Amino acid sequence: MPRRRDLRVVGQIASGYILVDEPLAAWVVDQHVAHERALLDRLTDPEDDQMPTIQSLLIPEVVELSPQDAAEAADSLEELSVYGFDVEPFGKDSFRINGVISTLAERGDVGGAFREAVTAMRGTAPGMSREERILATIACHSAVKLGDRLSQEEMEALIKEWLTSRYPATCPHGRSICYRMEHKDIARKLDRH
């Protein structure tokens, strides 16, 4: 992993990847999965003083679920509130989302996150508990996306938060976050021996 004290955030490539340079190598960082990892760490660290708060939605969002998912959601309203979903039944298979954690309210697909969180409650994933599946879903929907243009300050903050996370090598779903290219290999590719 790049060492924070030696790196320089160069910029963004294709509105989805952050180029980071250090003395011996350049790193290409997937901004979505790096942010997802950092957010998941924040959501799972009870001592983090930057824990997201619940934010009321200006306009509540109504989400319709399949009958099976609606039954799961109805039985799990209290648990869903623990994960930051201020939600109430709103018809036969519909729910009104009145508030969510701040990271999701700021950037996320609130309805999609709610649907996937309910599905994650029923699902299984190797090596992940029910809580981990739900929090990974929330982190994924809260993270910056590929295609989001970021300012220099936003890129630097994202890289710092990612590199100080507990598991910076992979996202919660096991995908790689970054790719390293040694400067000497770049020089060799460009015939600069």
pLDDT at 82: 87
User: What is the C-alpha separation between 45 and 79, in angstroms, rounded?
Assistant: 18
Q: What is the pLDDT of residues 107-127, one digit of tens each?
A: 768 999 999 999 888 776 666
pLDDT at 124: 63
Contact 101, 54 (CB under 8 A): yes
Extended strands (E) in the chain: 8-13, 17-21, 25-30, 54-64, 86-89, 94-101, 178-182
Q: What average pLDDT does range 136-141 have in this prediction?
A: 89
Contact 97, 60 (CB under 8 A): yes
Distance between start and end Cα atoms, the chain: 26
Could you count the other beta carbons within 10 Å of the beta carbon of residue 174? Answer: 9
Task: Go through 127-136 and write b for each residue having 16 or more CB atoms within 10 A of its CB, e for each that does not.
Answer: ebeeebbbbb
pLDDT at 23: 92
Q: Is the dihedral of CA 68, 69, 71, 75 positive or negative?
A: positive
**CA 114 remoteness from chain centre:** 14
Q: What is the pLDDT of residues 45-74, one digit of tens each?
A: 766 655 568 899 999 999 999 999 999 999
Surface-to-core class of residue 93, CB atoms within 10 Å of its CB (0-12 exposed, 13-18 middle, 19+ buried): middle
Position 58, amino acid? L
User: What is the C-alpha separation between 165 and 80, in angstroms, rounded?
Assistant: 25
Domains and CATH numbers, the chain: 4-44+146-189 (3.30.1540.20), 54-142 (3.30.1370.100)
Query: What 8-state DSSP symbol labels residue 52?
Result: P
**Band of pLDDT at residue 167, cut at 50, 70 and 90:** confident
Model-level pTM? 0.85
Q: What percent of the chain clears pLDDT 90, i.e. is strictly above it?
A: 59
pLDDT at 19: 97
**Band of pLDDT at residue 153, cut at 50, 70 and 90:** very high
**CA 86 remoteness from chain centre:** 20
